[in-house]
Amino acid sequence: MVQTVSQRLPDFPWDKLASHADTARAHPDGIVNLSVGTPVDPTPAVVQEALREAADAPGYPQAIGLPETRQSAVDWLARCHGVPGLTADQVVPAIGTKELIASLPLHLGVGAGDLVVYPELAYPTYEVSAALVGADTLATDALTAIGPQVPRLLWLNSPSNPTGRVLPVEHLRKVVQWCRERGVLLVSDECYLDCVWEAPEGGALSVLHPDVCDGDTTGLLAVHSLSKRSNLAGYRCGFAVGDRDVVAELVAVRKNLGLLLPRPQQVAMATALTDDDHVREQHERYAARRRRLRAALEGAGFTVDHSEASLYLWSTRGASCWDTVAELAELGILVAPGDFYGPAGARHVRVAFTATDERIDAAVARLS
């Protein structure tokens, strides 16, 4: 019997949380869902207005994207993250970065017999994207563990989901050099780059930052999302930026597949990337929720590891992650078990602070 595509893919992890979600929903004061990092605050008014003004869009958009959308991306990277010198032809917009990550190996011709490497604790879609094309996979943070097979694709994720860890510039430089020496495409998932709380010395840097790549984007691709920084998860706005030859290949493939980000969303994305005020306001909201929730978790006996960035607190009491999930569900709090992200997470849970102030306060009260 021919194996179906779905049989090649791992089980969708959140399906395993269903019974614990039922337990949490049964709490007299209702569920506090901290299992998924989905925004709950309004989409910024300036972005909503831009979407309304662009609503009349009868024609097909181009796969390459609007010039102003691509330019806004390189301007933002230069203005906010110290990445100068990029040009609009190094950017391709995407229908959300999950779609981009999930399809990237397929679109770049990765297949059976190729190796895809991703972090030991990682967003599950890196594995899914490799499984979809039948590639071999390795989850590791150590370049020395990769062995003799040269990867076709190596993923970085800093700031990390789920741990919130920020990789120092020395490590990023080492990975860039290693990949260049072997001709490996390095793709850095940077969707939490604007969600940094306790940055180490040097801060959270893009792989495209000159301190990391010496201003040379060859063999490098960075993936960015507006879902977290701008509350645009429902708009599905993201982009990839970097090596112009890789970007051109992605554009060529996306043209043939008809993967076109709608024009109104492109206008909204350009507006969001141009306006920094709403990002600061949202950052302050999350920072306040993070402080309250972290104090409550630590008061309840949890240790919070890493978590200097992202929208999560990587937390442990030393027990099995599923035991912790069950205990918190009895309090009406739903969190994500750490082993969703790899076996190394078996004693941690990922606790999102993307709930409303009222629900964060409810969680704090229950943990106390």
Specify whether 120 is located in the same domain as 148: yes
pLDDT at position 10 is 64
Report pTM. 0.94
Q: How far is the C-alpha of 230 from the C-alpha of 283, rounded, in Å?
A: 10
Determine contact, residues 300/327, Cβ cutoff 8 Å.
Answer: no
Specify whether 101 is located in the same domain as 170: yes
Specify whether 137 is located in the same domain as 258: yes
Q: How far is the C-alpha of 340 from the C-alpha of 344, rounded, in Å?
A: 10
Residue 153: pLDDT band with limits 50, 70, 90: very high
For the segment 75-112, what is each residue's pLDDT rounded down to a tens digit? 999 999 999 999 999 999 999 999 999 999 999 999 99
In the predicted structure, residue 6 carries a pLDDT above the cut 70: no
**Mean predicted confidence (pLDDT) in 341-366:** 97
Specify whether 264 is located in the same domain as 322: no
In the predicted structure, residue 1 carries a pLDDT above the cut 60: no
Instruction: Give the residue numbers spanning the domain of 202.
Output: 45-275
Specify whether 291 is located in the same domain as 267: no
pLDDT at position 15 is 79
Decide which of 227, 248, 275 is a domain's last residue: 275
**Mean predicted confidence (pLDDT) in 264-292:** 97
Specify whether 122 is located in the same domain as 25: no
Token pair, residue 284, equals 């302050």
Decide which of 219, 252, 275 is a domain's last residue: 275
For the segment 27-46, what is each residue's pLDDT rounded down to a tens digit? 999 999 999 999 999 999 99
pLDDT at position 203 is 81
**Mean predicted confidence (pLDDT) in 61-70:** 95
In the predicted structure, residue 156 carries a pLDDT above the cut 90: yes
pLDDT at position 199 is 73
